[in-house]
Structure 1
Amino acid sequence: MAIVAETIETSFGLLGKIILDKPKALNALSTDMIESMQVALDDWATNDEVKAVWVEGAGEKAFCAGGDVVMLYHSMKETAAGDVPAKATEFFTKEYKLDQTIHEYAKPVIIWADGIVMGGGLGVAVGGSHRIVTERSMIAMPEVTIGLYPDVGASWFFNRMPGKCAEFLGMTGARMNAADALFTKLADFAVASEDKDHVLQAIASSDGTHDGITEAITTTQMECRVHESALWMNYELINELMAPTDLSDVVAQFEGLETDDKWLSRAKASLLGGSPMTLALVREQIEMAKHMSLDEVFAMELTMSVQCAMHPDLQEGIRALLIDKDGTPQWSVSSVEDITDQQLAEYFTKPEGMTK
């Protein structure tokens, strides 16, 4: 099962508590974990005694480092060309349903996003009503390195970020800290990791309403200044780098970027070494989702993700990073200039073998 779902008695009734409990795997989500979380949330949604939900990751290192991409690799590997990979499709379908459930949950969902929060972990975290980061939070959507694209509702939350931050984060997989998360609206509060028990106690002593929980968390907030955000510090440069309408010009700007800044250097290396198809998908998904509802966003992303599982780059990216670990993926296209409109359109076209 790899999650713990329990209820805690508080002054306002019951607090549902979910712990992602696979610390050795940095609490990466398996299909079983997603199913178990869905069952718990569905049960508590109709239980009048449960007034709010708290979600955290086990161990000191991670809230959740993403999805089980090795499972995705094997699902793709065992599927004939042109067929829909069944296990990958099941995983994405259930993952996005869970993410949407959290976004739309009628009761407060408090997320303790301490440590690593990547990919699918951010998908779980960002939908909460009260999203807490700490000085140890390290947040990213690094799909460009494996030939996927920022999914789990990123098409939705990317469109709510300032300036060109979303394109930059999606194309570089750049890492964010607590200040970055507050700046990009991925988090609501910053609390010191050592104050976790204190904040939980404050919530348990509150009235359990949305405003009551907000007040309780506010009493334990740590100071988190905007100038601690690399995104804010480099905001003008980021907007300049991402400004060209032609994607090949964006790549050229990164190629010409000279910097001693380690954070920017890492972002540059990820964009230039990542999947060119991902770069195109990031720009397209943001544009297409501008006026979409949450329902429409997750439906679009399910199509995109299944298509990624049917195209070669995702399998190749996971192989190079996590299976053979040679770090030399052979992408299906060598540059963004090689991508045709027809190739890009395929990723937004529902495959024939997809039932939903």
Structure 2
Amino acid sequence: MAELVQLEERACPGGMKLGIITLDAPKSLHALNLDMIRAIDGALVRWQDDARIACVVLQSSTDKAFCAGGDVRSLRTAVLEQPGVVPNPQALAFFAEEYRLDYRIHTYAKPLLVWGGGIVMGGGLGLMAGARHRVVTETTRIAMPEIAIGLFPDVGGSWFLNRMPGRTGLFLGLTGAAMNAADALFVGLGDYFLRQEERATVLDALALAQWHDNDEANHQQLQRLLRSLSAPDATLPASEVRQHYDTIAALTQAPTLAEVAAAIAGYDGDAPWLQKAAHALGKGAPSSAALAWTMRQRTRHLSLAQVFQLELIVAVQCCAHPDFAEGVRALLIDKDGAPQWQPASLDTLRAAYLDEFFVAPWSTHPLADLA
């Protein structure tokens, strides 16, 4: 619903304005539905063309979460209501418009600040990753946990995971391991560390700033302001990714997915974070692991637009294959934690089956106009 996204234009000195987009669906941890996507995108388009809007802020109405992902429950229902329809119309509309919004954020000319406090998962990270100014806080918990529901790290994950240090992006995509604020700064998903309680103070400071009629000057102004308000590094939590960087490199160094998955599953150290990651991969969908691995290889030299175009093909094909509906059922509907994956293991996953996910079910790509 449009009312799940609140829009505000706050007056600033000199006749300029601050545009504020607030996700306001606290019961679902601000999970995105199609109406919310359209409301956010519509505001960004209008404000990009409004010379009075100097800076845009994207946040949520609560401290618990920025955005916990997409509304996969509704997507599952839509898929089950039209079995065998490829692409499913609702899934196509959702993913196409979500990826278009994410691409817009990556390429947005005006300063766009995303306040990534609390839970930031899946589609929430799609909103955050491409912004030029990303705040993380002591409450930030970031993850791409698609392996648990028969999807793959999408919303540009094929782009930003490939650009993380070493093979950390591969590890995070395969395991869905959670990251904190220090991790986000280390892997390039965050730019500034501020205390969650400082959000209102930051918004007030932005509203009092002397903005310019030049986007680049405003980017620099926002950067200076956020750096001046940033919390000292001493208050950052320890980075799990940085701490275990060498172990991650060792676990993911093999040339095949089967070897890497076996190495991660066989981790016998005493680090709880790595133990949890290994468990998640072991319980996750083999098809999702294969897609994460294959997308890393196929997108390595693609442009951002090409990445989103390929992700759209794979996303709608995921909805046409059984693991997505089964994963959502096991995790969010019945909550039995016992998904019956098809295939049940990487050993039984055939190349021809994986190839099905990369077949475009249309003659003209819905995102062909991305440049």
Name 1:18's counterpart in structure 2.
21
Name 2:9's counterpart in structure 1.
7
Give structure 2 stretches of 5+ with no counterpart: 212-217, 367-371
Name 1:193's counterpart in structure 2.
196
Residue 154 of structure 1 aligns with an amino acid whose one-letter code is G
Partners of 2:201 and 2:46 in 1: CA distance: 27
Give the match's secondary structure for 2:258.
Answer: helix
- C-alpha displacement of 1:179: 0.3
Name 2:227's counterpart in structure 1.
218
**Contact 1:161–1:185 (CA<8 Å) still a contact in 2?**
yes
Whether 2:68 is the aligned partner of 1:65: answer yes
- C-alpha displacement of 1:87: 0.8
Q: Cα–Cα, structure 1 residues 71 and 218, in superposed 2: closer, same or farther, change >3 Å?
A: same
Residue 42 of structure 1 aligns with an amino acid whose one-letter code is V
Residue 233 of structure 1 aligns with an amino acid whose one-letter code is Q
Pairwise CA RMSD: 1.5
**Contact 1:84–1:354 (CA<8 Å) still a contact in 2?**
no
Name the TM-score, length of structure 1 as normaliser: 0.97
Taking every aligned residue pair, what percent have the same amino acid on both sides? 42
**Contact 2:86–2:317 (CA<8 Å) still a contact in 1?**
no
Of 140, 144, 153, the match for 1:141: 144
**Contact 1:135–1:192 (CA<8 Å) still a contact in 2?**
yes
Residue 12 of structure 2 aligns with an amino acid whose one-letter code is T
Partners of 1:141 and 1:238 in 2: CA distance: 17
Whether 2:217 is the aligned partner of 1:204: answer no
Residue 6 of structure 1 aligns with an amino acid whose one-letter code is E
Whether 2:233 is the aligned partner of 1:231: answer no
- C-alpha displacement of 1:25: 1.0
Name 1:285's counterpart in structure 2.
295
Further displaced range: 296-305 or 335-344: 335-344
Name 2:214's counterpart in structure 1.
none
Further displaced range: 20-29 or 245-254: 245-254
Residue 107 of structure 1 aligns with an amino acid whose one-letter code is K
Further displaced range: 202-211 or 227-236: 202-211
Residue 273 of structure 2 aligns with an amino acid whose one-letter code is W
Name 2:35's counterpart in structure 1.
32
Partners of 1:195 and 1:310 in 2: CA distance: 44
Name the TM-score, length of structure 2 as normaliser: 0.93
Whether 2:176 is the aligned partner of 1:166: answer no
Residue 10 of structure 2 aligns with an amino acid whose one-letter code is I
Name 1:102's counterpart in structure 2.
105
Give the match's secondary structure for 2:43.
Answer: helix
Partners of 1:10 and 1:36 in 2: CA distance: 23
The one-character-per-residue Cα deviations of 1:73-120 (angstroms, maximum 9, x if unpaired) are 101101122532111111101101111111111101001111000000
**How many positions carry a matched residue from both structures?**
356
**Contact 2:55–2:111 (CA<8 Å) still a contact in 1?**
yes
- C-alpha displacement of 1:203: 2.5
- C-alpha displacement of 1:260: 2.6
Of 291, 294, 307, the match for 1:297: 307
The one-character-per-residue Cα deviations of 1:154-173 (angstroms, maximum 9, x if unpaired) are 11111210011111101110
Whether 2:84 is the aligned partner of 1:74: answer no
- C-alpha displacement of 1:261: 2.1
- C-alpha displacement of 1:355: 6.1
**Contact 1:159–1:166 (CA<8 Å) still a contact in 2?**
yes
Runs of 4+ in structure 1 deviating by more than 4 angstroms, as ranges, are 352-355
Q: Cα–Cα, structure 1 residues 218 and 276, in superposed 2: closer, same or farther, change >3 Å?
A: same
Residue 237 of structure 1 aligns with an amino acid whose one-letter code is T
Give the match's secondary structure for 1:215.
Answer: helix
Give the match's secondary structure for 1:63.
Answer: strand
Give the match's secondary structure for 2:209.
Answer: coil
Name 1:332's counterpart in structure 2.
342
Further displaced range: 49-58 or 247-256: 247-256
- C-alpha displacement of 1:197: 2.0
Name 2:258's counterpart in structure 1.
248
Give structure 1 stretches of 5+ with no counterpart: none
- C-alpha displacement of 1:259: 2.7
Residue 231 of structure 1 aligns with an amino acid whose one-letter code is V
**Contact 1:66–1:122 (CA<8 Å) still a contact in 2?**
yes
Partners of 2:74 and 2:156 in 1: CA distance: 21
Residue 210 of structure 1 aligns with an amino acid whose one-letter code is H
